[in-house]
Amino acid sequence: MPKPYPVRSETHELEYQSERFFRACLPKGWTCEKPEHDYGVDLRVDIYEDHNATGLELVVQLKASKAAAEGAMETVRLRTTTYNRLRNRLQVAMLVKFVADDKDAYWLLLRDIPPPMQNNRTFSVCIPKSNKLSAIEWDRIQQHVREVTDAKLAAVRRDEIRRNNAE
């Protein structure tokens, strides 16, 4: 009788495939790290320009499924607590759903997800299948990250000036 060994679950395999696919879609030179503790952030992307660090970051929540949904949308169940945590981060957040049978993933920026009812534990997010990760325009994402980062840093600087003037 053969000895039994651990079996890799389909969930773990899909998670691995989704992360590998996401990394392969990133522009050359951008880096991607998996945080040690995952509380809604599966990956953190550092954006570089011509090999130069920019200080711009994108955080990613990854989901995966084997089969595609019917129709023009992919649906993701997201915890309200995860949404709240991502919404309160300084970095721009992206939701990505990898579909193994499609050999592609679909994305949506958190800003484009309507806020959930806070008394619900989870809610559904619909991602248009036209938002293929394999065809994403990373320059537009980078520009959005820059605009959001600049606006948030400007607010911090205004607060610092206000505090210094009050002293």
Q: How confident is the model over 6-34, as pLDDT tens digits? A: 888 888 899 999 999 999 999 999 999 99
pLDDT tens by residue, 33-56:
999 887 889 999 999 998 899 999
**Confidence check: pLDDT of 97 > 90:** yes
| Segment 51-74, tens digit of pLDDT | 899 999 999 999 999 999 999 999
Hey, which CATH number is domain 10-166, 3.40.1350.10, 2.20.25.90, 3.40.50.360, 3.40.50.720? 3.40.1350.10
Can you tell me the distance from the alpha carbon of 108 to that of 39, in angstroms, rounded to the nearest whole number?
A: 19
The pTM is what? 0.89
Cα–Cα distances in Å, from 9 out to 15, 104, 142? Answer: 10, 21, 35
Mean per-residue pLDDT for 82-103? 95
Report pLDDT digits (tens) over 150-162. Answer: 998 888 888 788 8
- What mean pLDDT value characterizes the chain? 93
Compute, in degrees rounded to 10, the torsion defined by CA atoms 44, 42, 85, 10. 170
DSSP codes, the chain:
-PPP-----HHHHHHHHHHHHHHHHSPTT-EEE--SS-SS-SEEEEEEETTEEEEEEEEEEEEEESSPPSSSEEEEEEEHHHHHHHHTSSSEEEEEEEEGGGTEEEEEEGGGSPPPPTT-SEEEEEEETT-BGGG--HHHHHHHHHHHHHHHHHHHHHHHHHHHHH-
Tell whether the model's pLDDT for residue 167 goes beyond 80.
Answer: no
* pLDDT tens string 102-140: 999 999 999 999 999 999 999 999 999 999 999 999 999
- Let me know the angle formed at the C-alpha of 63 by 58 and 67, rounded to the nearest 5 degrees: 140
